[in-house]
Structure 1
């Protein structure tokens, strides 16, 4: 009887929790299912505003996307720091990146003299730390797209994996990042002892598992993966209106031009980021969807 009583109480508790979760979900109070917000630079001469919106996907796992959208002052410079981290096999690696990658970049001794090298060094050292601490951070990994806006004048973008940065200027979309897909890096992967599979109805995968050729972490595949980022520098001028950073949950269902056309008339970057996420959902994207829109001169 005692076991039956405990079981009944446990069942009632579980049902009550499920009911409360349904209410939270229906009223958008479940913070794990979506996250949204906005902000702006404090500089009066180079105004930059940003907005973000993240939505948990319908692929059957918990949210694995993380973002950074914030401003810091360092050495009399105003730095806008923005990132999307798209995790796989759990959220520990992207969670670590959210808290540490920009710190590692800004602590590089040559950040102000050779920003590109500093970013590359920080990506590599961060990946090394993740691998050395895989017992704590787990076997999973994460893609990344990062953007640093310096004094509203210079944009530095870097990425590994298939999260993407797209610039809108002169009415056109300009992709700033490289999608690191396995088939495009097959020669390097095979030279390092791995292989690329392309099965009917599926995308190319490293060793039949991972759909990107570069990522943080992924200890079991690391011998065949790279953590070397592609880095781009863009001087910000009056022709550049905004930049979209987003995970592949958006780019799987929307072209670059479709994305910028979708939000070019929306001046509020938070509303723009939400519009992109909602449009991706309407197009039946099942992956986690994370968007940041950075507007210049607004």
Structure 2
């Protein structure tokens, strides 16, 4: 499907060093063509001694008479090549799937799988690392499709109640553990550490990670929601936020902040105040 861009918002911005957390928050905002739906983002580099591994997308495109809002968080590990690749290619692959508008969930599933195969085939260029993903596609401001692999999360505020739309794919979850074991892998939980696939990776699903791929799924969980009068805003964020802030806490913190850029920054600032040391990326999409 051929698509054209309506508006483009800065993506994957790297922060420069500062006295706070060795990074400065990068923030920005945007809106759709009708100005009815607005979004903002905030990204902060963590304290680890490697380049920023969180990348994101926040933009609108048109397809015929349809307007598409595209939002995503990609949280990389063992390098930033895979999340950078996802930033540039995943939505294109989804939108170019035959029948996307008729069956978007199937198109998303196929594109996730296709994109993972491409990443694995390009290991020599992209490296052996991987990335989680949480993606949101807003169709004509009415249908919201959330897909994810890994532990980056989507939380919707509906009449003030936080509703988690994604699934945290953690190796400790019984269904994920069984899936890993059925693939010939194992889950190891060393004292003082978190459960890891084959003792290495702390998420049960991810793009890339060729060395673990036999035991690691890239199948997304997909959920569709209708945007109705009770639908207030959507939060997409990496686990740098969710490790220290609960879903309802996040909703309560920003529900009264009308500016989505300020809301996203409020959430990353809160994660920093709670001593989150990971990269932190957050997008807030306000529907009304």
Could you state the TM-score of these two structures normalised by the residue count of structure 2? 0.91
Query: Are 1:213 and 2:197 matched, yes or no?
Result: no
Structure 1 residues 135-184: Cα deviation after superposition (integer angstroms, max 9, x where no partner): 00100000000001111111111000000000001221000000000121
Give yes or no for contact 1:244–1:293 (8 Å, CA) kept in 2: yes
For residues 187 and 178 of structure 2, the distance between their equivalents in structure 1, rounded to whole angstroms, comes to: 9
The correspondence for 2:230, drawn from 229, 239, 242, is 239
Q: What does 1:136-215 align with in structure 2 at a 5 Å threshold?
A: 136-184=125-173, 185-215=176-206
Other-structure match for 1:251: 242
Query: Are 1:75 and 2:67 matched, yes or no?
Result: no
The correspondence for 2:97, drawn from 108, 133, 136, is 108
Query: Are 1:61 and 2:50 matched, yes or no?
Result: yes
For residues 53 and 228 of structure 2, the distance between their equivalents in structure 1, rounded to whole angstroms, comes to: 35
Q: Secondary structure at the match of 2:278?
A: coil
1:59 shift after superposition: 2.3
Q: Secondary structure at the match of 1:182?
A: coil
For residues 216 and 186 of structure 2, the distance between their equivalents in structure 1, rounded to whole angstroms, comes to: 11
Q: What does 1:125-140 align with in structure 2 at a 5 Å threshold?
A: 125-140=114-129
Query: Are 1:264 and 2:255 matched, yes or no?
Result: yes
Give yes or no for contact 2:156–2:231 (8 Å, CA) kept in 1: yes
- The structure with more radius of gyration: 1
For residues 90 and 53 of structure 1, the distance between their equivalents in structure 2, rounded to whole angstroms, comes to: 21
Other-structure match for 1:278: 269
Over 3 Å counting, the alpha-carbon distance change for 1:140 and 1:33 in structure 2 is farther
1:61 shift after superposition: 2.0
For residues 118 and 222 of structure 2, the distance between their equivalents in structure 1, rounded to whole angstroms, comes to: 21
Give yes or no for contact 1:270–1:293 (8 Å, CA) kept in 2: yes
Structure 1 residues 233-252: Cα deviation after superposition (integer angstroms, max 9, x where no partner): 10100101000000000000
Structure 1 residues 110-142: Cα deviation after superposition (integer angstroms, max 9, x where no partner): 101111000000000000000011000100000
For residues 26 and 133 of structure 1, the distance between their equivalents in structure 2, rounded to whole angstroms, comes to: 35
For residues 106 and 75 of structure 1, the distance between their equivalents in structure 2, rounded to whole angstroms, comes to: 12
Structure 1 residues 29-66: Cα deviation after superposition (integer angstroms, max 9, x where no partner): x9x8542110001126xx11000000000122221000
Other-structure match for 2:9: none
Structure 2 gaps of 5+ residues are: 1-15
1:27 shift after superposition: 9.2
Other-structure match for 1:39: 30
Query: Are 1:120 and 2:94 matched, yes or no?
Result: no
For residues 60 and 258 of structure 1, the distance between their equivalents in structure 2, rounded to whole angstroms, comes to: 30
Q: Secondary structure at the match of 1:59?
A: coil
For residues 207 and 19 of structure 2, the distance between their equivalents in structure 1, rounded to whole angstroms, comes to: 35
4+ long deviations beyond 2 Å = 24-28, 32-35
Give yes or no for contact 1:177–1:232 (8 Å, CA) kept in 2: yes
The answer to which structure has the higher helix fraction is 1
Q: How many residues align?
A: 270
For residues 25 and 84 of structure 1, the distance between their equivalents in structure 2, rounded to whole angstroms, comes to: 22
